[in-house]
Structure 1
């Protein structure tokens, strides 16, 4: 089938559900879509470096099989043939999964991650593995040895793509894939979503299995969808969520389909703005977009209220004992090996966990539960807390300070076991994306998605495309 079929001029520009509808209507085939994306990857990848490995031949074969199934009237699901990209933390049996580390480039996966199994069971086609910060331990998206993806919103200047799911963010933004999977331990889905102009969902621990995913912090790690719309993010989340006997954190957590409530709008909801003191240090253009987003949600029928938070966002960024200790447990052996080719900044972060005492760890765990209880009390009767996702738009890589992190507004969601959605809400004068975060109580992903979808139905920020071709 010609990729220029009526109504589908360029399959690489389509979102995931748009592709699925085109497949069902026979206006497009999975082969068309995969060929278009592989061609775009081949053309842009030398500059963008979104992928650490592309599965071109295998993806083409899977697309041909999907096309036959659809033509015969027997697709395994409505998403059969839709391509996806996976972060290089997610195991696919027989494939290299290195966690972004040159030290692990020979690590061949012995299992397929549960999240990948669920996507493959739907007939999705994996285009390849995307770059990540080494061990997923960094928010700027840099990788000293395997390469830092190029943020596609500025073709002239290398800017932070956000991390640690840097390649997934760049791949989806640059239309190399319609959606992708990232992971979020301190903001690693939401930060690249912010800097790359995407929709990214940080789920509650236990919502999505982490079996078969290289860990950073087992008590904080959460896989999640990255897409160009809330609608696509909600669908992908719904496919991969649910209990898994191979991950005990998912036990007893019933799936919660977000699709029935996605279009209910925000009328009658109570949404909290962040305290005025938290506006300090946020770029004026980010604040202006934030204020306009609040006005938009109010115009859509939400009640905007104030809330007294039991913490300052920056203080929770410093509460890293949990992730430091758990990362050292998994990766300390490599960080201690001076001959191992580790990113300098990552080695320093991992080694910081060596000095975390049991007392430090348990004090932070107690702080976690205390602040969570206080936050829930403060948010009684409030459906979501609204913040910017980041303090600024993407900065040049030359200005990145590896001793600082861009996770001021994201880290609290992980530490306090919330769920949160990042989505584009404007652009700077230079054309760089700005982002709104919608944070909800744990296990209220459907609410965050509902609010985000209402916002995207009334705006078009998520439809803009970066200037790369």
Structure 2
């Protein structure tokens, strides 16, 4: 098969080829390595490529498949991780120069589970320092380039910037990342791919450098909803090393993924509850709502207890306070190597009192009850993932984080959400739909997402990186 086409296939398309031997894991890995070699000097998604160990692993899984020991749909699939997930013997920098010598003595549970499912670990991906930022920038390591515009350096979304770019550009079929306020969904939106933010207790955070233990979630970026379902089923479930997951029994989403959505009920909010959202984004949402109606979904107008953006104040307070508590020692040691914008965000959590923090947690509990009541009788909520499409980085305001205006409330209220492409703007940049459900509703958001995806063609779009594959791209900053 043509290597370019192979690099752009989804997991559910690659799996049968690997199982039958029509494509070998070694061949697929070499295709990914070639794509990285051709594009990453420009796109800068990878911080570390582990080519030799990945080739060894690919040879091993190739032999297993040949001997009839096929483990499932991730067997032989290459993947990479955001560089706040530990892998034994490798540095976990969390995007910071202060941690460049921080060698992991453990492997994150999610990485272990992906490898146990037969996936081939390929490397570490760039990110915003300490996962505390939405635009995807990093003063010291640089910002990955959004592959949808090779002429203008646009936001790749953050904080999982490299994770989104690597999947969108065909370097790996999927990546693993964290989401504290939108850090999976924003890159999914900016890069025109699928991003799953699971319920906090669904997926273990053991072996993950924390920002906010109350709000951190671990999920995936992939090319299709079915791919995200395959990954979620492999990674989710209780972990003795993560108390938050104890007694957790998240749904198996693949089993009912392709079940009809006819008769399901979803809520949509008025534009008045979605301030500062670009017209093209609102238009894409309206068209998506019509798709669901045509699929037989009952769409009802609802009013949330508060606008999504209004929950950001409480969420930000928790993130800042817990972020500073996690990083206080490093802040004290400050050698002038912090990203200045990240330093400012973290230091903002220094002055909060224990009483203020306790008050915010109590408010969160009240808000969670109110939202649960609002969503009663509904399967899910539809809204944009981000209020804007990817802007040029030269135009962004690092003092503001609008990309999380519509995502942060999901973490704050303990919900789960799926981001998937549903349009493009006048510059050809992707626009994204967000499907939100109550805790442990991953099966619901995936079922609705799969139905939408298969009724539209937005997921089939790929960025034009042909000039990089030919080595002829001329860039502008």
TM-score of the superposed pair, with normalisation by structure 1: 0.97
Offset at 1:340?
A: 4.2
Partner of 1:363: 359
1:140–1:162 CA contact under 8 A, matched in 2: yes
What's the secondary structure of 1:327's corresponding residue?
helix
Does residue 37 (structure 1) correspond to residue 22 (structure 2)? The answer is no
Partner of 1:303: 298
Instruction: Using the TM superposition, give the Cα deviation of residue 164 of structure 1 relative to its aligned residue in structure 2, in angstroms.
Output: 0.6
Deviation string 1:316-346 (CA, Å, 9 cap, x unpaired) is: 1122221111110111222233414110000
- After superposition, residues 69-88 of structure 1 pair within 5 angstroms as 69-88=64-83
Aligned to 2:108: 113
Q: Once the two structures are superposed, what CA deviation does each residue of 1:84-112 show, in whole Å capped at 9, x if it has no partner? A: 11110110111111111111111100101
Q: Does 1:61 align with 2:68?
A: no
Determine the C-alpha separation between the residues in 2 that align with 1:149 and 1:241.
29
Tell me which residue corresponds to 2:470: none
Partner of 1:331: 327
| Aligned counterparts of 1:266 and 1:166: Cα–Cα separation in 2 | 32
18-27 vs 445-454, which moves further: 18-27
Task: Describe how 1:214-225 pairs up with structure 2 within 5 A.
Answer: 214-225=209-220
CA RMSD, Structure 1 to Structure 2 (Å) = 1.2
The residue number in structure 2 matching 1:429 is 426
Aligned to 2:379: 383
Q: Identify which of 244, 251, 260 aligns with 2:255.
A: 260
Q: Structure 1 stretch 305-314 or stretch 171-180: which is displaced more?
A: 305-314
Once the two structures are overlaid, the 10-residue window that deviates more, 241-250 or 369-378, is 369-378
Question: 1:16–1:232: 8 Å Cα contact kept in structure 2?
Answer: yes
Q: TM-score, normalised by structure 2?
A: 0.95
The reply to whether residue 246 of structure 1 matches residue 241 of structure 2 is: yes
- 1:393 and 2:384 aligned: no
Q: Equivalences for 1:161-180 in 2 at 5 Å?
A: 161-180=156-175
Of 411, 416, 432, which aligns to 1:419?
416
1:317 matches 2:332:
no
**How far is 1:9 from its partner?**
6.3
**Which residue of the partner structure matches residue 130 of structure 2?**
135
Provide the C-alpha distance between the structure 1 equivalents of 2:297 and 2:271, rounded to a whole number of angstroms: 20
Counterpart check, 1:194 vs 2:198:
no
Contact preservation (8 Å) 1:11, 1:32: no
Pick from 429, 446, 460 the counterpart of residue 463 of structure 1.
460
Number of matched residues?
464
Contact 2:24 2:62 in 1 (8 A): yes
Q: CA deviation at 1:275?
A: 2.5
Q: Is the 8 A contact 2:265 2:379 kept in 1?
A: yes
Q: Secondary structure at the match of 1:183?
A: strand
Q: Which residue of 2 aligns with 1:270?
A: 265
Query: Separation in 1 of the partners of 2:90 and 2:135?
Result: 26
Runs of 4+ off more than 6 Å: none
Deviates more, 1:60-69 or 1:109-118: 60-69
Q: Could you list the runs of 5+ residues in structure 2 that have no partner in the other structure?
A: 467-477
Q: SS of the residue aligned with 1:259?
A: coil
Alignment partner of 2:435 out of 438, 452, 465: 438
Flag structure 1 segments of 5+ consecutive residues without an equivalent.
Answer: none
Looking at structure 1, the residues matched to 320 and 139 of structure 2 have their Cα atoms a distance apart, in angstroms, of 20
Tell whether the 8 Å contact from 2:74 to 2:231 is kept in structure 1 after alignment: no
Would the aligned equivalents of 1:132 and 1:164 in 2 still touch at CA under 8 Å?
yes
> Do the aligned partners of 1:182 and 1:225 also contact (CA within 8 Å) in 2?
yes
> Equivalents in 2 of 1:260, 1:73: separation in Å?
24
Aligned to 1:282: 277
CA distance in 1, matches of 2:258, 2:70: 27
Which secondary structure does the structure 2 equivalent of 1:435 belong to? strand
Aligned 8 A contact 1:190 1:202 in 2: yes
Question: Is the 2:265–2:378 contact (alpha carbons within 8 Å) kept by the matching residues of 1?
Answer: yes
Report if aligned partners of 1:336, 1:351 keep a CA contact under 8 Å in 2: no
